[in-house]
């Protein structure tokens, strides 16, 4: 009795192609299970789905509402991906660029074994910024959403509104240069849609240009303003594939390092320190912003840190599974102005 | 009705180390306000939320019996942040006490019955309270035979040696002490608690077993009892769960629809079998 | 006729009169979301809203709350209890589902031998002005838990939104006294009352989500170990948004915050969630609910099986916030459908929930 809401997109070709590839993988037993997305029950949502039968591939969906970073389900592996006799199953992941980056980065941190993963690379052109659309529509219920060309068409009981997709997509998606997982170019038959050869990914970090142009006081004001509504639910941490610590720093109690209340200092400390722990590891998937129940655009702090990592260490996360992230590695050429004397 | 979150204030009268490695101490607390002590009416098996105010609060079973007048005693093992701060405190320090909480051992229903007390490790504290209460001359005739089986890893871990020695001298209580492995100066029994239960083979006739200890000891001891034809209704456990408020409001100690802090911590095995296995 | 009319233009007058006596809470827009905040001028009130993101329970049971403050003088401790628990509060614009949640919260905090004074005193000092829902959402299901979009019980004064004015009905004694004080309210006409009834009927007929919770409770009681829970908890990421936005979730943690240098501090309570893996973790390292499936199951069982055992009604008000909040769309309606499928398979027939 739940009404399943669909989303009509031009991505039908991509969706059909993906389903074909998925079917082939299951048929040839190259994978045991596939995780992807399926239609959600609310107009602006999709759901993750795990399938293990060929006849279920037509449930797999591809559209601009595929938010969740599926890499999250690999670390730790959800029970469906582990068999009591065979051990770890071979998993196929329907991966847009950032999901693939997530998987590759986790492989570089030895949390997953890429031999057990097949990445079905999807060329993503961005996801709709759900919270922003909902806030623009305000206090009216959204009943139907479709994306046609550059238009996000939102309908309700007595209204219809159009938004330009390039403005109302997730902030991160706007400047995203990594639209497909990098490994896909090694296995072109797994690339859905047109495959591009890219080896020089250059992230321009346009999305934080406005934040960077502020003075330090303005930046502090912006950060504290944005974070002030945090309820400390930790959805951001739970949704992030890179947050897999058994005991998060904020939960430590021998001794207690940080406060857990919604007092502003406690909130700021939690978010800034989590961002520091993510430096060089964030794959810009935006899951943290998209799951926040209060609609805080959390990702901008991480983006700034990633830019600094790129400038200082010439490193972009999630492109090469064999390169260690800079915060867990060192090179003799690393700058150490603050510790060693200059020769 | 007083605010149940506000602790009553007590002072540490004495601190006695109970074991060789010095990580279990018994604290004797004296209430600052006379009438708060008078209103602190507890039965064996109940616990209190005690705190070093500023460091945190934790639920600890009351080790003293209501028959020991003037002060209340708690035996605390150093395990986490709050318990460590107890161990670092001194005589004269202020301790907050909220209680008595929980349902306690069912002293009324135990009347007229033989009581078999099976304890392991430092979970023996509320059992001390129970036994002292039963043995007190005011109550002794209300209860039947008392058998105590108390096991520990080694002889250095045996708590309450002073009262144990007194009980061994009495003829209205059988005390069987055991340790896991042989030791030079140990003349009493050797073996795991479950094995000793099998050996002693307490009769289930008009009897109730009170079992308290680490989870593995409880399970194995209960299996032995069931082999000796003990029914699940006759076996009582005191459960340990993470508790914060102690009054059934913070939610974390729930097992099914029951809260261990108010519906327990004492449950019969029969009741536990009805509840989900989440403890 | 006892019913009155309050023109929307006169909200300012209502506010300026009442704020002298009460701490006035109303729906406001905070960073794009509706939230119940204490207002300092009438411009802040948002009258056009569906419902707040965080339920109004956070006025009476905030995310962080001081239980008591203390100071050390040598080895002695002096405890300072809260003195503001009897301050009068007025919460304006509460939807019937949230007003019903106040009743459930009150029953919970008063249950058993111990009364949660901190919440109950505030509840007693608060006055609730409810507003009926002209446009329930697709995800709302208050009618399935014995509620109604125009339910007046649990409010003190009930408003029906008639467009440019509200129909005002006093419900409780507190409400009657309040309406009496607002003597400048004009009397309602029969047409107004009829309009309100019409809106109530329209709202009631618009519900698409309906459940038979008695059946759900029965199936849950019998199927604690059923493999369906594997399916239900599969996509859950443990983000705990559902518990943080739920009007009937009450779990909290108690923390002592100590200011070492000034020998004083406070004991506070903060919201906690059964979805966290640390929730039941004991100091010994033993964890009664180490797996996500157990935690996911515990939330559903708590609301729809354990709560009914203790209180004879489900612990849910049908507001639908958990349905909109879940980022992986693992929403309550799908979960209930899967649970009822167990019964269907057993009986071999389709069950319309």
Query: Could you give the ipTM of this predicted complex?
Result: 0.88
Q: How far is A157 from chain C (nearest CA, A)?
A: 10
CB A119 within 8 A of CB A103: yes
| Residue C81: DSSP 8-state | E
The answer to whether the B8-100 and B107-238 domains have the same CATH topology is no
Contacts B83 to C, Cβ<8 Å: 283
Inter-CA distances, C238 with A49, A91, C220, C276, Å = 17, 22, 21, 7
Asked if residue C49 has pLDDT above 60, the reply is yes
Residue range B120-148: mean pLDDT, rounded: 91
Among the partner residues C209, C245, C268, nearest to A261 by beta-carbon distance: C268
Candidates A247, A252, A253, partner chain B, best to mutate (most B CBs within 10 A): A253
Closest CA to C158 of C138, C130, C177, C185: C130
Asked if residue A194 has pLDDT above 70, the reply is no
Closest CA to B57 of B97, B93, B94, B100: B97
CB A121 within 8 A of CB A197: no
Inter-CA distances, C90 with A198, C14, C128, C130, C174, Å = 61, 12, 6, 11, 11
Confidence at A2, pLDDT banded by 50, 70, 90: very low
Q: How far is C56 from chain B (nearest CA, A)?
A: 19
Quick one: CA dihedral B163, B169, B171, B176, positive or negative? positive
H/E stretch holding A155 reads strand A151-156
CB B72 within 8 A of CB B29: yes
**What span, in angstroms and rounded, lies between the C-alpha atoms of B239 and B214?**
10
Residue range C243-255: mean pLDDT, rounded: 93
% of chain A surpassing 90 pLDDT:
33
Taking residue C114's Cβ as centre, other Cβ atoms within 10 Å add up to 22
What SS3 state is found at B212?
A: strand
The per-residue pLDDT for range A209-228, each reduced to its tens digit, is 888 999 999 999 999 999 99
Q: How far is A255 from chain B (nearest CA, A)?
A: 7
**What span, in angstroms and rounded, lies between the C-alpha atoms of C161 and C304?**
32
Tokens of A277: 């722990």
Location of structure tokens 């996911």: C296
Contacts C244 to A, Cβ<8 Å: 231, 233, 235, 293
Q: Do B256 and C301 touch (CB under 8 A)?
A: yes
Beta bridge partners of residue C170, listed in sequence order? C157
B221-227 contact pairs (CB < 8 A, 24+):
B221/B118, B221/B120, B221/B193, B221/B194, B221/B197, B222/B269, B223/B194, B224/B194, B224/B197, B224/B198, B225/B197, B227/B198
* Phi and psi, residue C128, nearest 5°: -110, 125
pLDDT, position B78: 92
Strands B258-259 and B235-238: what pairing? unpaired
Strands B94-101 and C157-161: what pairing? unpaired
Asked if residue A176 has pLDDT above 90, the reply is no
Query: Under 8 Å CB-to-CB from C302, ≥6 apart: which residues?
Result: B254, C274, C315
Among the partner residues A41, A46, A139, nearest to C334 by beta-carbon distance: A41
Residue in B with minimal Cα distance to C113: B247
Candidates B10, B48, B243, B252, partner chain C, best to mutate (most C CBs within 10 A): B252
The per-residue pLDDT for range B113-130, each reduced to its tens digit, is 999 999 998 889 999 999
Residue range B85-93: mean pLDDT, rounded: 93
Residue range A178-185: mean pLDDT, rounded: 64
Residue range B49-70: mean pLDDT, rounded: 92
Q: Do C210 and A295 touch (CB under 8 A)?
A: no
Q: How far is A256 from chain B (nearest CA, A)?
A: 9
CB B55 within 8 A of CB C256: yes
Among the partner residues C70, C111, C306, nearest to B53 by beta-carbon distance: C70
Contacts A61 to C, Cβ<8 Å: none
| Residue B53: DSSP 8-state | T
- Where would I find the H helices in chain C? 11-18, 57-60, 96-110, 117-124, 173-181, 190-205, 213-222, 228-233, 241-244, 292-301, 307-311, 321-325, 332-347
Residue range A118-122: mean pLDDT, rounded: 83
Tokens of B20: 């060789």
Contacts C112 to B, Cβ<8 Å: 247-248, 262
Strands A151-156 and A142-148: what pairing? antiparallel
Q: How far is A272 from chain B (nearest CA, A)?
A: 26
Q: How far is C75 from chain A (nearest CA, A)?
A: 23
pLDDT, position A7: 45
Fold designation for B8-100: Elongation Factor Tu (Ef-tu); domain 3 (2.40.30)
Q: How many CB pairs under 8 A join A and C?
A: 134
Q: How far is A299 from chain C (nearest CA, A)?
A: 16
Strands A160-164 and A82-83: what pairing? unpaired
Q: Do B257 and C279 touch (CB under 8 A)?
A: no
Inter-CA distances, C72 with C256, C265, C331, Å = 14, 9, 49
Contacts C302 to B, Cβ<8 Å: 254
Give burial (CB, 10 Å; 0-12/13-18/19+) of B136: middle
Tokens of B46: 């109940």
The per-residue pLDDT for range C220-231, each reduced to its tens digit, is 999 999 999 999
Quick one: CA dihedral C190, C196, C202, C204, positive or negative? negative
Q: Do C274 and B252 touch (CB under 8 A)?
A: yes
Residue range C63-75: mean pLDDT, rounded: 93
Whether residue C78 lies within 8 A of chain B, CB to CB, comes out as no
Query: Under 8 Å CB-to-CB from A147, ≥6 apart: which residues?
Result: A7, A8, A9, A10, A63, A64, A128, A153, A165
Residue in C with minimal Cα distance to B258: C306
Q: How far is A117 from chain C (nearest CA, A)?
A: 18
Contacts A234 to C, Cβ<8 Å: 239-240, 276
Instruction: Identify which has the larger pLDDT, B241 or B26.
Output: B26
Asked if residue A3 has pLDDT above 90, the reply is no
The architecture CATH gives domain B107-238 = 3-Layer(aba) Sandwich (3.40)
Residue range C45-71: mean pLDDT, rounded: 93
pLDDT, position B80: 85
Query: Under 8 Å CB-to-CB from A241, ≥6 apart: which residues?
Result: A69, A71, A72, A74, A75, A102, A106, A283, A285, A287
Whether residue A200 lies within 8 A of chain B, CB to CB, comes out as no
Confidence at A200, pLDDT banded by 50, 70, 90: low
The per-residue pLDDT for range A222-246, each reduced to its tens digit, is 999 999 999 999 999 999 999 999 8
* Phi and psi, residue C131, nearest 5°: -130, 135
Residue in C with minimal Cα distance to B7: C79
pLDDT, position C80: 94
In degrees, to the nearest 5, what angle opens at C-alpha B112 toward C-alphas B107 and B115? 65
The per-residue pLDDT for range A272-291, each reduced to its tens digit, is 999 999 999 999 888 898 88
Closest CA to C342 of C242, C209, C231, C234: C231
Residue ranges per domain, chain B?
8-100, 107-238
Among the partner residues C53, C239, C329, nearest to A239 by beta-carbon distance: C239
Contacts B81 to A, Cβ<8 Å: 253-256
Q: How far is C141 from chain A (nearest CA, A)?
A: 12
The per-residue pLDDT for range B4-46, each reduced to its tens digit, is 999 999 999 999 998 888 899 999 999 999 999 999 999 999 9
CA B102 to mean position of chain CA atoms:
12
Whether residue B156 lies within 8 A of chain C, CB to CB, comes out as no
Quick one: CA dihedral B84, B88, B94, B100, positive or negative? positive
Residue range A145-168: mean pLDDT, rounded: 89
Among the partner residues B54, B79, B250, nearest to C256 by beta-carbon distance: B54
H/E stretch holding C157 reads strand C157-161
CB C253 within 8 A of CB C53: no
Residues 321-340 of C with CB under 8 A from B: none
Among the partner residues C64, C135, C255, nearest to A141 by beta-carbon distance: C135
Among the partner residues C76, C269, C274, nearest to B94 by beta-carbon distance: C76
Name the E strands within chain B.
8-17, 24-31, 47-52, 56-61, 72-77, 94-101, 114-120, 146-152, 173-179, 189-190, 207-212, 235-238, 254-255, 258-259, 266-268
Confidence at A339, pLDDT banded by 50, 70, 90: low
Residue in C with minimal Cα distance to B242: C282
Closest CA to A211 of A237, A243, A175: A175
Give burial (CB, 10 Å; 0-12/13-18/19+) of C208: middle
The per-residue pLDDT for range A89-117, each reduced to its tens digit, is 999 999 888 888 888 899 889 999 888 88
Whether residue A254 lies within 8 A of chain B, CB to CB, comes out as yes
- ω before B100 within 30° of 0 (cis)? yes
Q: Which chains touch B (3 or more CB pairs under 8 A)?
A: A, C
**What span, in angstroms and rounded, lies between the C-alpha atoms of B257 and B276?**
9
Query: Under 8 Å CB-to-CB from B182, ≥6 apart: which residues?
Result: B190
pLDDT, position A1: 27
CB C335 within 8 A of CB C297: no
Among the partner residues B53, B93, B249, nearest to C256 by beta-carbon distance: B53
Contacts B242 to C, Cβ<8 Å: 279-283
Beta bridge partners of residue B60, listed in sequence order? B48
pLDDT, position A216: 94
**What span, in angstroms and rounded, lies between the C-alpha atoms of C199 and C195?**
6
Whether residue C252 lies within 8 A of chain B, CB to CB, comes out as yes
**What span, in angstroms and rounded, lies between the C-alpha atoms of C240 and A234?**
7
Contacts B80 to A, Cβ<8 Å: 253-254
């Amino acid at each position: 009795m739940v009404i399943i809401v669909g989303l009509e997109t031009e991505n039908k070709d991509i969706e059909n192609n993906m389903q074909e590839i998925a079917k082939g993988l299951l048929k040839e037993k190259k994978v045991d299970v596939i995780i992807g997305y399926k239609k959600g029950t609310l107009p602006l949502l999709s759901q993750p789905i795990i399938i293990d039968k060929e006849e279920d591939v037509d449930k797999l969906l591809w559209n601009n509402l595929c938010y969740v970073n599926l890499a999250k389900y690999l670390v730790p592996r959800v029970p469906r991906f582990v068999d009591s006799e065979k051990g770890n199953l071979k998993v196929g992941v329907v991966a847009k660029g950032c999901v693939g980056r997530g998987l590759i980065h986790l492989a570089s941190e030895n949390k997953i074994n890429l031999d057990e993963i097949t990445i079905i690379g999807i060329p993503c052109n961005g996801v709709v910024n759900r919270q922003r659309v909902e806030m623009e529509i305000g206090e009216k219920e959204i009943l139907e959403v479709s994306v046609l060309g550059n238009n996000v068409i939102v309908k309700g009981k007595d209204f219809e509104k159009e938004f330009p997709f390039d403005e109302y997509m997730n902030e991160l998606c706007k400047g995203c240069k990594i639209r497909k997982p990098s490994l896909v170019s090694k296995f072109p038959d797994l690339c859905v849609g047109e495959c591009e050869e890219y080896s020089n990914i250059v992230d321009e970090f346009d999305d934080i240009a406005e934040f960077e142009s502020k003075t330090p006081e303005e930046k502090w004001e912006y950060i504290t303003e944005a974070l002030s509504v945090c309820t400390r639910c930790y959805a951001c941490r739970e949704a992030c594939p890179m947050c897999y610590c058994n005991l998060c720093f904020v939960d430590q109690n021998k001794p207690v390092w940080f406060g857990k209340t919604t007092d502003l200092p406690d909130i700021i400390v939690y978010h800034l320190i989590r961002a520091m722990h993510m430096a060089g590891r964030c794959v810009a998937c935006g899951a943290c912003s998209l799951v926040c129940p209060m609609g805080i655009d959390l990702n901008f702090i991480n983006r700034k840190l990633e830019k600094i990592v790129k400038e200082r260490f010439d490193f972009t996360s999630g492109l090469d599974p064999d390169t260690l992230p800079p915060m867990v590695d060192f090179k003799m050429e690393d700058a150490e102005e603050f510790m060693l004397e200059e020769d | 009705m007083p605010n149940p979150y506000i602790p009553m204030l007590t002072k540490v009268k004495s601190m006695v180390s109970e074991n060789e490695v010095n990580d279990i101490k018994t604290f004797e607390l004296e209430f600052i306000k006379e009438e708060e002590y008078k209103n602190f009416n507890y039965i064996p098996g109940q616990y209190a939320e005690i705190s070093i105010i500023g460091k945190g609060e934790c639920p600890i079973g009351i080790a003293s019996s209501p028959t020991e007048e003037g002060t209340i005693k708690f035996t605390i093992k150093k395990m986490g942040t709050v318990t460590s701060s107890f161990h670092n405190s001194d005589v004269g320090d202020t301790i907050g006490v909220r209680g008595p909480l929980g349902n306690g051992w069912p002293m009324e229903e135990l009347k007229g019955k033989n009581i078999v007390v099976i304890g392991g490790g430092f979970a023996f504290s509320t059992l001390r309270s129970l036994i002292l209460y039963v043995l007190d001359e005011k109550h002794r005739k209300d209860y039947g035979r008392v058998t105590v089986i108390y096991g520990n890893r080694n002889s250095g871990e045996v708590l309450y040696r002073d009262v144990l020695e007194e009980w061994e001298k009495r003829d209205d209580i059988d005390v069987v002490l055991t340790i896991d492995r042989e030791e030079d100066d140990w003349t009493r029994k050797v073996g795991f608690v479950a094995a000793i239960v099998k050996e002693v083979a307490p009769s289930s006739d008009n009897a109730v077993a009170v079992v308290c200890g680490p989870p593995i000891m409880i399970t194995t001891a209960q299996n032995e009892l069931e082999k000796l034809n003990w029914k699940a209704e006759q076996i009582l456990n005191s459960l340990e769960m993470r508790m914060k408020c102690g009054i059934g409001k913070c939610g974390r100690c729930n097992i099914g629809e029951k809260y261990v802090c108010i519906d327990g911590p004492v449950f019969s095995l029969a009741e536990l079998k009805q509840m989900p296995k989440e403890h | 006729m006892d019913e009155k009319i309050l023109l929307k233009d006169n909200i300012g007058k209502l506010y300026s009169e009442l704020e002298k006596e009460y701490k006035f809470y109303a729906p406001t827009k905070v960073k794009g979301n509706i939230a119940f905040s204490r207002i300092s001028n009438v411009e802040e009130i948002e009258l056009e809203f569906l419902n707040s993101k965080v339920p109004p329970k956070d006025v009476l049971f905030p995310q962080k709350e001081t239980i008591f403050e203390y100071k050390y003088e040598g080895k002695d401790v002096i405890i300072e209890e809260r003195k503001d628990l009897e301050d009068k509060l007025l919460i304006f614009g509460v939807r019937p589902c949230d007003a019903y949640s106040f009743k459930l919260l009150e029953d919970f905090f008063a249950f058993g031998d111990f009364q949660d004074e901190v919440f109950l005193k505030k509840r007693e000092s608060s006055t609730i002005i409810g507003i009926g829902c002209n446009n329930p959402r697709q995800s709302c299901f208050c009618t399935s838990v014995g509620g109604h979009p125009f339910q007046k019980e649990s409010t003190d004064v009930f408003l029906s939104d008639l467009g440019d004015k509200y129909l005002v009905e006093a419900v409780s004694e507190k409400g009657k006294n309040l309406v009496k004080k607002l003597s400048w309210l004009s009397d309602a006409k029969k047409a107004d009352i009829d309009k309100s009834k019409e809106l109530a009927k329209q709202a009631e007929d618009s519900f698409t989500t309906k459940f038979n919770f008695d059946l759900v409770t029965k199936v849950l009681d019998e199927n604690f170990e059923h493999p369906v829970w594997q399916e239900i908890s599969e996509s859950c990421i443990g983000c705990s948004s559902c518990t943080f936005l739920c009007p009937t979730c009450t779990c909290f943690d108690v923390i002592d915050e100590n200011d070492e240098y000034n020998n004083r501090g406070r004991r506070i309570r903060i919201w906690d969630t059964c979805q966290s893996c640390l929730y039941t973790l004991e100091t010994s390292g033993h964890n009664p609910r180490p797996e996500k499936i157990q935690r996911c199951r515990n939330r559903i069982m708590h609301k729809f099986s354990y709560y009914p055992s203790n209180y004879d009604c489900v612990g849910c008000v049908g507001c639908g916030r958990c349905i909109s909040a879940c980022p992986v769309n693992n929403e309550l309606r799908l979960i209930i459908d899967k649970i009822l499928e167990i019964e269907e398979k057993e009986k071999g027939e389709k069950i319309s929930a």
